Structure 1
Amino acid sequence: MTQKDQQSYDQSLYAIHNRLFFRLFQLGNSLDRQCVNELGISSVHWAVLGALSRPQTNSVMSFTELTEYLDVSRQNLDGVLKRLEREGYVIRQIDTTDRRAKNIMLTQEGIARWEQLQENIYNFYKQALNGFTLDDMISFTHLANKLTNGLNDIKING
């Protein structure tokens, strides 16, 4: 491949990369907007309630576990939790074994809100994925996991 061909290839590849990441940006914004419009809850609030409602958590996770599970910063999670606390959906409790640590717990209102959302969430998924085959969904999940791993491996300045 000549240097000119390589530059042309690099520019084409850059354009594809740019378009892909822009579409991911748009996808995230569409998800946020549709969550609020159709479910009455932000996507991040949905994610927190969903994370805490998983059977293996028994409605409780440490603050650190929750940040790692959701892959969000401590500052961002703190702001989300403050709003969910005001709404009466979660509470923070000091860990009994490590007084420096906080556990996040769904309240009865939070559990009820999550249960109330389930039918609408099912319909949300069904409509958003209309036209996807099972193989499409499995492939998309696989590709999203590969991209997540790639993002986690980025080391530009260090």
Structure 2
Amino acid sequence: MSNEQNSSQDEDLYAIHNRLFFRVFQLGNTLDRQSAKELGVSPVHWAVLGALSREKVREGMSFSDLTEYLGVSRQNLDGVLKRLERDDYVIRFADQADRRAKKVILTPLGFEFWEQLQLKIYEFYRQAMEGFMFDDKATFVHFLNKLNAGMNNASLQPSDQKK
């Protein structure tokens, strides 16, 4: 293959990558706008409430585990939790095993709010995914997981400078 063919293929690959990542960016913005408009909560608030509503964390979840689970920064999560605390949907408290560590728990009002959101969320999902067959949805999840893993593994530092 000639250098000219390689260059053309590289340009095509760059263009499709650029389009794909731009669409992911647009998708995030649309989710942000539509969830606020239709559900009255931001996607990150929605995600925090959902994470804390799971049966296995009914007794609370450490702040650190919650940041890992959601893939958000400590600073972003702190801001979200402050608003949820103001609304009396969550409480932060010291972990009994490690008093320096904070845990987060959904309050009864938080559970009630989460339960009230469920029918709206289900309908939001149904409408957003209209036109997708079940196999399309499963494949889409698979590819999103692959993209997320690829982004998490991306590093522009030379291998000798990685920590």
Q: TM-score, normalised by structure 2?
A: 0.95
For residue 56 of structure 1, report the CA deviation from its aligned partner.
1.4
For residue 62 of structure 1, report the CA deviation from its aligned partner.
0.5
Question: In 2 relative to 1, CA 80–103 (structure 1 residues): closer, same or farther, beyond 3 Å?
Answer: same
Percent identical across equivalent pairs?
61
Q: Which runs of 5+ in 2 are unaligned?
A: none
Q: Is the 8 A contact 1:52 1:59 kept in 2?
A: no
Alignment match, 1:127: 127
Separation of aligned partners in 2, 1:3 and 1:99:
62
Alignment match, 1:109: 109
Q: Is the 8 A contact 1:90 1:104 kept in 2?
A: yes
What are the residue-to-residue correspondences of 1:87-106 with 2, within 5 Å?
Answer: 87-106=87-106
For residue 115 of structure 1, report the CA deviation from its aligned partner.
0.4
For residue 141 of structure 1, report the CA deviation from its aligned partner.
0.4
Separation of aligned partners in 1, 2:127 and 2:62:
33
For the pair 1:71 / 2:88, whether they are aligned, the reply is no
Query: Deviations for 1:15-68, whole angstroms, at most 9, x for unmatched residues?
Result: 000000000000000001010000000000000000000111115111011000
Alignment match, 2:43: 43
Q: Is the 8 A contact 1:49 1:114 kept in 2?
A: yes
For residue 81 of structure 1, report the CA deviation from its aligned partner.
0.4
Separation of aligned partners in 2, 1:62 and 1:111:
18
The residue identity in structure 1 corresponding to 2:128 is A
Alignment match, 1:146: 146
Q: Secondary structure at the match of 2:130?
A: coil
Separation of aligned partners in 2, 1:77 and 1:144:
23
Alignment match, 1:22: 22
Separation of aligned partners in 1, 2:87 and 2:57:
21
Alignment match, 2:80: 80
Q: TM-score, normalised by structure 1?
A: 0.98
Separation of aligned partners in 2, 1:110 and 1:119:
16
Q: Is the 8 A contact 2:58 2:106 kept in 1?
A: no
The residue identity in structure 1 corresponding to 2:65 is E
